[in-house]
Amino acid sequence: MIPVRGYKDKRVAVLGLGRSGLSAALALQAGGASPVVWDDNEPARAAAHDLGLDVQDLSKDRPWVDVVSLILSPGIPHLYPRPHPIVAKAWAMNVVVDNDIGLFFRSYATRDWDMFDNQPQVVCVTGSNGKSTTTALITHILRAAGKPVQMGGNIGRGVLDLNPATDGEVVVMELSSYQTDVARSLTPDIGVFMNLSPDHLDRHGGMGGYYAAKRRLFIEGGPERAIIGVDEIEGRALANEMRQEVVSGDPVIAISTTQKLRGAGWSVFARKGFLAEWRKDRQMASIDLRDIQGLPGAHNHQNACAAYAVCRSLGLSPKVIESALHSFPGLPHRCQVLGAARGITFVNDSKATNVDAAAKSIGAFKNIRLIIGGQPKEGGIADLAPVLGDVKSAYLIGAAAEEFAKQLPDTPHQISGTIEAAVQQAIEDADVGDVVLLAPACASFDQYKNFELRGDAFVAAVAPFLAEGAG
């Protein structure tokens, strides 16, 4: 745990008692603060009470006496589509609003660092798609290279649950727009901007607000190295803003999977399955990504480019990085190849919760039996049309099924309703060489609590067929 600094003997309110909220309250307590906690759900309040935390209804006035800050969990809206009433209350009482990410950055560095030979560093990864895989991949490469490393944030452990820094350690954090939008302190050593596609727009008041939340990590944080995907206009604009040196482009490393990036600046790009590093008008390294099973498809090649750029910035050699890429197992629910039986391959990409992510997943395979649907997002799946050529049939599930059926006039499809029915129907229809792919392009909340449980349901439905095939 990282004890929170700067609040000793002060009262601090915490709203939301999930993983990040509970760890924030306990870290505040460890740093000498007096946390006052609340959650709209009674079971969460009971769990906090059992941990000895002071649970008080923050919708009332009395708990706010002498409170100096409100720490907000990422799932709670602070501005759009409307502020949570307790956030509005904090504003009215001139109480500053922060989150666990802000507390981490004000608390991670301590006087003990003066004794270290090598200063710890923090890498933060944000973007619409690929954050989790890139964060895990960076951590995997550093660990394979023998470097001390911890992973947290939106993946793994809550940031305040991490251990205090050790000599030369690297903390790799995945940060969502919900986290970067609220944090009052953002000071990463290396910032990574993967990409941007429409998502969470109701939470941010539109695409501009969504981009602004991501941009804060760089403009407010001022990282010493900014690794930026330039395949969208927002990334190109951000890279231009961050450039300080005209010739070298420092501190920016541009990454791409759609174009060759050359010139005097530092760039890493992937084309036709090969990763290339260019610097000072010459190629520094090249890696063949085509046979790396844990990183299938162009979207994973972008993840590889970002992780490579981070690890090169941290001093690792191309050969060390290449070796570690080959041993990366991939992440569950993210283009996860479950196996094959009777010539049919099964892939779980439950994390493909928006159209852009689903399109990238579809683009990684041929001869696809696509399972799609769930709680739909704005715009439906009309933008998938350019990548549906390799989809032999679609199986529609969840609340979006009827709506999506109308948007697939040229793709054979049927309404399956559930993942279990969709898997059975896909297996019955599949030929040797086909891929049964779960890439929902939707949130999971109509049928499942989260995308992980949706992916688990797919894995469970597929398991008997894989077992039978193995037998």
Structure tokens at 128: 């619409």
235 is in an annotated binding site: no
Is 411 marked as binding a ligand? no
73 is in an annotated binding site: no
- Is 131 annotated as belonging to a binding site? yes
- How far is the C-alpha of 382 from the C-alpha of 389, rounded, in Å? 14
Question: Does 353 belong to an annotated binding site?
Answer: no
323 is in an annotated binding site: no
129 is in an annotated binding site: yes
Q: Which residues are annotated as a binding site for ATP?
A: 127-133
Binding site: what residues are annotated? 127-133
